[in-house]
């Protein structure tokens, strides 16, 4: 079964053709990063405009790359939630138009479900049940995945997402957007013990995260060093900070894995590309006997191949939409 998938939830305009949920026939991503760099973050209005300009070319290129036309396809899939509302609407309306014009069924896909599904492409033998940590610019969720379309959120951030907390500190250190990625590039070999940060816990909720205190502690250290004219070692500071974020993510995920008896751990989302996080999970999985799955780096960040993968399982579960489908800025993964 071949599905054309479209993703426009944030600042990547993406389209892909995926066969049977696991084989990527084409995967095209038009990034807008260059447009947003001067603002230090994504400007929603600009993102929507760029999606409108790019989407038809990106979809055509994905179809050509897969050597397909619409008669070869079985469905059209699109990310409809969560994300920037104006950005999501571009993809949703384009997909609805294609579905109406071709008569192909329309499959709505939840963005976090698709991030998890990136692992079905990366690891063709991976099957639920497993425990997943989804960490991106907007989300930090510990999710039990009992089946391809059956999810339960066990823990989540109470304030900033891990990616957001990294992006803001990276910006204060003078690194360009996207901060988390650039901090990882600049600091992955720094001394992670050089600077000390708190390890925040959320009282009464052992799987939830809180990154805003950690972020504020880091920003205070940067500001106070500036005021005193002291130099901060970018490499060591960034490494120490990424280690602190990683410790929080690893600790809570392992607690949930132990409590709920999961031996398979699956990382997903843009922040799962982080070298500290990957090394931290690799070390603990080896020491404690967990089977660890992570997407290859290009599949960690937003792309449409992951949407096409999840869409295959949504199709099999009969989860279709009609032309009243709307975009939604926030919604739970449980659906």
Q: Which of 167, 190, 208, 215 binds ligand KG4 (CB under 6 A)?
A: 167
Nearest residue to 207 (alpha-carbon basis) of 128, 285, 276, 141: 141
Looking up tokens 């071709």, which residue turns up? 102
Nearest residue to 269 (alpha-carbon basis) of 75, 10, 1, 5: 10
Is there binding between residue 166 and ligand KG4 (CB under 6 A)? yes
Is there binding between residue 136 and Zn ion (CB under 5 A)? yes
Q: Which is nearer to ligand KG4, 32 or 136 (CB)?
A: 136
What is the number of alpha carbons within 13 Å of residue 75 lying toward its C-beta?
29
Q: How far apart are CA 141 and CA 144, in angstroms?
A: 10
The count of residues interacting with ligand KG4 (CB under 6 A) is: 19
**Binder of residue 54, out of ligand KG4, Zn ion, none (CB less than 5 to 8 A by kind):** none
Smallest distance from the beta carbon of 9 to Zn ion, in angstroms?
A: 6
**What is the pattern of x (binds Zn ion, CB under 5 A) and - over residues 254-293?**
----------------------------------------
Stretch that binds ligand KG4, among 15-23, 53-61, 159-167, 315-323 (CB under 6 A): 159-167
Q: How far apart are CA 327 and CA 141, in angstroms?
A: 21
**Which H helix or E strand runs over 8?**
none
**What is the pattern of x (binds ligand KG4, CB under 6 A) and - over residues 174-213?**
----xxxx--x-----------------------------
DSSP string, 116-154: HHHHHHH-TT--SSEEEEEE-SS-EEEEEEEETTEEEEE
CB–CB of 62/28 below 8 Å? Answer: yes
Q: How far is CA 48 from CA 76, 91, 231, in A?
A: 21, 10, 40
**What is the pattern of x (binds ligand KG4, CB under 6 A) and - over residues 248-287?**
---------------------xxx-xx-------------
Is there binding between residue 238 and ligand KG4 (CB under 6 A)? no
Binding site for ligand KG4 (CB under 6 A): 10, 136-138, 163, 166-167, 178-181, 184, 269-271, 273-274, 301-302
């Amino acid at each position: 079964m071949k599905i054309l998938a479209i993703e426009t939830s944030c600042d990547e305009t993406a389209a892909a053709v995926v066969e049977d949920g696991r084989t990527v026939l084409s995967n095209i991503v038009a990034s807008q990063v260059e447009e947003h760099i001067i603002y230090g973050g994504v400007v929603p209005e600009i993102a929507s405009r760029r999606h409108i300009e790019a989407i038809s070319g990106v979809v055509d290129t994905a179809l050509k790359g897969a050597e397909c036309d619409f008669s070869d396809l079985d469905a059209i899939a699109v990310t409809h939630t969560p994300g920037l509302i104006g950005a999501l609407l571009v993809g949703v309306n384009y997909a609805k138009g294609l579905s109406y014009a071709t008569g192909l069924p329309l499959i709505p896909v939840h963005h976090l479900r698709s991030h998890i599904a990136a692992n079905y492409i990366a690891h063709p033998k991976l099957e639920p049940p497993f425990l997943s940590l989804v960490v991106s610019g907007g989300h930090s969720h510990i999710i039990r995945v009992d089946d391809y379309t059956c999810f339960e959120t066990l823990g989540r951030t109470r304030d900033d997402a891990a990616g957001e907390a990294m992006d803001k500190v990276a910006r204060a250190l003078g690194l360009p957007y996207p901060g988390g990625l650039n901090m990882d590039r600049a600091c992955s070999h720094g001394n992670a013990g050089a600077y000390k940060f708190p390890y925040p816990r959320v009282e009464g909720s052992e799987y939830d995260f809180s990154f805003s205190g950690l972020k504020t502690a880091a920003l205070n250290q940067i500001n106070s060093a500036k005021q005193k004219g002291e130099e901060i070692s970018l490499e060591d500071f960034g490494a120490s900070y990424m280690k602190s974020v990683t410790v929080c993510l690893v600790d809570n995920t392992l607690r949930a894995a132990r409590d709920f008896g999961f031996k398979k751990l699956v990382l997903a989302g843009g922040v799962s590309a982080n070298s500290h996080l990957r090394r931290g999970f690799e070390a603990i999985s080896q020491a404690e006997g967990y089977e660890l799955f992570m997407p290859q780096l290009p599949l960690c960040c937003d792309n449409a191949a992951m949407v096409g993968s999840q869409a295959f399982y949504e199709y099999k579960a009969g989860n279709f939409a009609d032309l009243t489908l709307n975009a939604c800025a926030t919604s739970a993964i449980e659906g």
